[in-house]
Copies of this chain bind each other. A is one copy, B any other.
Amino acid sequence: MKIDRNAPVGVFDSGVGGLTVAREIMRNLPSEKIVYFGDTARVPYGSKSKETIIRYSRQIIRFLQEQQVKAIVVACNTASAFALDAVRDELDIPIIGVIEPGARVAAEETKNKRVGIIGTIGTVDSGIHADYLKMLDPQITVIAKACPLFVPLVEEGWLHDSVTLEVAGRYLKEFKDEEVDTLILGCTHYPLLRSTIRTVMGEDVRLVNPAYETALELLRLLKEKDLLSTGTGQEEFPYRFYVSDLADKFKDFANSILPYDVEMTQKINIEKY
């Protein structure tokens, strides 16, 4: 099959969190078109089973293939952890997740070989960051912890708040005690808590935001496969957004964080795929 290099890139997440990844793609690959899907009818993914997340991911991938995307970015840590290996071989287009790019930069940058990971219960229990980090460098010690209240706190808008600081203090204490020098923000919502996490962890700990690393990985991959767009990025509607619920609420959130005016978000029934 010949892949159309000017086709859009498909990006999906359980909801709005993956927009932080889409944003980095817009910034770093401005010629690329994007079709984004947020599974707002079934969000969150982080507390659900591997089997269920694979089923949901397959449905979304079928939808994105119908949109004739040239590559897929799994912009959700839980779906990357649970589904990427399962679906990769089923596809004839490239697919990447957010785990490997984040882990790679953490492995490169840690000095004391002590790396922390925070994420959802699903992501942390999968152990995938640890597997990947130890493959890159067996000397690395990995400390991982689920932080289930972080997403609800972000969604409540308590980004700079004494409650959030107290919760972060409890969740992150272990990483301070363990003296990690690098902490992977292993959930797409967490970069929005960066300043609180910075306050707790101090200035000397490197905070890795996999969204940026994933955009760079996509750039490398498209180059390697000779799939970089030859477009100008000035086409009509370069970015299209689909969700499974609450399209207007999604659009408002997207407009608040994207360097782009989101005019249209369409709701689809993902269960039919």
Residues of A within 8 A of B (CB): 40-43, 47-49, 51-52, 148-149, 151-153, 155-156, 162-163, 166-167, 170, 244-246, 271
Task: Say whether A245 contacts B49, CB under 8 Å.
Answer: yes
Question: Which chain B positions have C-beta within 8 A of A151?
Answer: 152
How often does this chain occur in the complex, in copies? 2
Can you name 20 A-B residue pairings with CB atoms under 8 Å? A40-B48, A41-B42, A43-B47, A47-B155, A48-B245, A51-B245, A52-B246, A148-B152, A148-B155, A149-B149, A149-B153, A149-B156, A151-B152, A152-B152, A162-B166, A163-B163, A163-B167, A163-B170, A166-B166, A271-B271
Q: How near does chain B come to A154, taking the closest CB pair, in angstroms?
A: 11
Question: Which chain B positions have C-beta within 8 A of A51?
Answer: 245
- Tell me which of B41, B47, B166 contacts A48 (CB under 8 A): B41
Task: Say whether A156 contacts B148, CB under 8 Å.
Answer: yes
- Tell me which of B153, B155, B245 contacts A52 (CB under 8 A): B245
Question: Which chain B positions have C-beta within 8 A of A49?
Answer: 245-246
Question: Which chain B positions have C-beta within 8 A of A245?
Answer: 48-49, 51-52
Known: A40-B48, A162-B166, A166-B166. 18 other contacts (CB 8 A): A41-B42, A43-B47, A48-B246, A49-B245, A51-B245, A52-B244, A52-B245, A52-B246, A148-B152, A148-B155, A148-B156, A149-B149, A149-B156, A152-B152, A163-B163, A163-B167, A163-B170, A271-B271
Q: How near does chain B come to A86, taking the closest CB pair, in angstroms?
A: 16
Q: How near does chain B come to A38, taking the closest CB pair, in angstroms?
A: 13
List 7 tightest A-B contacts by C-beta distance, closest first.
A152-B152, A271-B271, A52-B245, A41-B52, A42-B42, A49-B245, A49-B246
Question: Which chain B positions have C-beta within 8 A of A149?
Answer: 149, 152-153, 156
Task: Report the Cα distance A93→B271, complex, angstroms.
Answer: 28
Question: Which chain B positions have C-beta within 8 A of A152?
Answer: 148-149, 151-152
Q: How near does chain B come to A55, taking the closest CB pair, in angstroms?
A: 8
Q: How near does chain B come to A15, taking the closest CB pair, in angstroms?
A: 10
Question: Which chain B positions have C-beta within 8 A of A156?
Answer: 148-149
Task: Report the Cα distance A170→B166, complex, angstroms.
Answer: 15
Task: Report the Cα distance A83→B271, complex, angstroms.
Answer: 19
